[in-house]
Amino acid sequence: MTLSPHSSSTIELTVELGARRYPIAIGHGLLDDGARLASAIDGRHVLIVSNDVVAPLYLDRLTAAIRRGCENVHISQWILADGEAHKTLASAARVFDALAAMKANRDATILALGGGVIGDLSGFAAACWMRGIACVQVPTTLLAMVDSSVGGKTAVDLPQGKNLVGAFHQPRAVIADIGTLATLPARELRAGFAEVVKYGALGDADFFAYLERNVDALLARDADVLAATIAHCCRQKAGIVARDETEQGERALLNFGHTFGHAIETAMGYDGLRHGEAVAVGMVLAARLSANLGRAPAVDAQRLSALLDRFGLPTAMPPGLDPDQLIDLMRLDKKNLSGTLRLILWRGIGQADIVPGIDARAIRAVLA
């Protein structure tokens, strides 16, 4: 599928973190922009990390552009098997093996070409290799463009839970070529819209209404509407990350729906719902719980569910999951403090809060 005709301009944003800053570029043809890639690369070695779905589509173009942009850079690549099941310590160890084989020291950059799985794993490997080397995020899914590539959260999963081992490690640049979304399967595009809706739900009622008006254009991959939407999400995330880089407060709001969602993903062995789909269900559960606790109007939960449904996302618990197992998994979530259940709830569209000390019985009631 191709994207609709589009304006050729690139949207440029900056993530400001005190004295540190890095650019986000959103546009068409950026995979071929050798000069931009060169300016993001640090050192003499470049390891492109990708997977066996994305690499056949885009690796050659990216490699050729880096060669055009950089002189005397040693480029290697490490191609992993596709899927969340490979976001593991074992895969990170394979990336370290690849860096060692290149004889890379700190003069190396990891370039993450793929979705959030590749981005999280590559960022984690970059954070660990010799205590930290540069990572450039080249996201190729909608979810990675609007969320995981920005903000420096990196991690791998353990069988016990998602993202349990990780580090905060900001990328050196984020280069989002919207043209890559043309090959993204429809289900993955829809999963990305869950994180897009999240931005409206947690803090921006106007953006939520904009999404309600633009569902059809977005699902039709209208290039300009997609670019504007991705830029809006990145701007919102960059603002939150600038105010709270290591999630001491406000940044936790970005986890709206995620404590439920991660528990569902883990309970399903990372092999049922896509991450975005699990987040969609999780946001509806968080909205219903908020309504049950008298914190938010039930009608807003219905409006959220209706928008997610129009994006083709699931809004009900998958059958066969055990509520008690899910609550146990939720207790292991990083957002909890000393075993008590702390969730992101809302007061309605555009107003989320961190709520500690939630009674497990109230949670069980929405999971049942």
Ligand X SMILES: NC(=O)c1ccc[n+]([C@@H]2O[C@H](COP(=O)([O-])OP(=O)(O)OC[C@H]3O[C@@H](n4cnc5c(N)ncnc54)[C@H](O)[C@@H]3O)[C@@H](O)[C@H]2O)c1
Q: Which residues bind ligand X (CB under 6 A)?
A: 51, 53-54, 57, 82, 84, 87, 114-118, 120, 140-141, 143-144, 147-148, 151, 153, 162-163, 180, 183-184, 188, 191, 275-276
CB of residue 326 to ligand X, shortest distance in Å: 17
93 CB-near residues (< 8 Å, 6+ apart): none
User: Look-up: residue for tokens 């509520």?
Assistant: 323
Residue with the shortest CB distance to ligand X: 116
CB of residue 160 to ligand X, shortest distance in Å: 15
CB of residue 53 to ligand X, shortest distance in Å: 4
Nearer to ligand X, 45 or 169 (CB): 169
Nearer to ligand X, 148 or 315 (CB): 148
Could you tell me if 101 and 47 are in contact, meaning their C-beta atoms sit under 8 angstroms apart?
no
Nearer to ligand X, 139 or 350 (CB): 139
Pairwise CA distance, residues 347 & 54, whole Å: 40
Buried b (16+ CB within 10 A) or exposed e, 170-180: bbbbbbbbbbb
269 CB-near residues (< 8 Å, 6+ apart): none
31 burial (CB, 10 Å; 0-12 / 13-18 / 19+) is buried
Nearer to ligand X, 92 or 117 (CB): 117
CB of residue 265 to ligand X, shortest distance in Å: 8
Nearer to ligand X, 181 or 211 (CB): 181
Nearer to ligand X, 45 or 258 (CB): 258
What is the set of active-site residues? 131, 153, 195, 237, 247, 251, 255, 258, 262, 275
CB of residue 39 to ligand X, shortest distance in Å: 23
Nearer to ligand X, 25 or 53 (CB): 53
CB of residue 72 to ligand X, shortest distance in Å: 30
CB of residue 180 to ligand X, shortest distance in Å: 4
Pairwise CA distance, residues 240 & 255, whole Å: 12
Pairwise CA distance, residues 222 & 243, whole Å: 32
Q: How many CA atoms lie within 13 A of 316 on its CB side?
A: 4
Other C-beta atoms lying within 10 Å of the C-beta of residue 247: 18
Other C-beta atoms lying within 10 Å of the C-beta of residue 260: 29
Task: Give the phi and the psi of residue 43 in degrees, each rounded to 5.
Answer: 95, -175
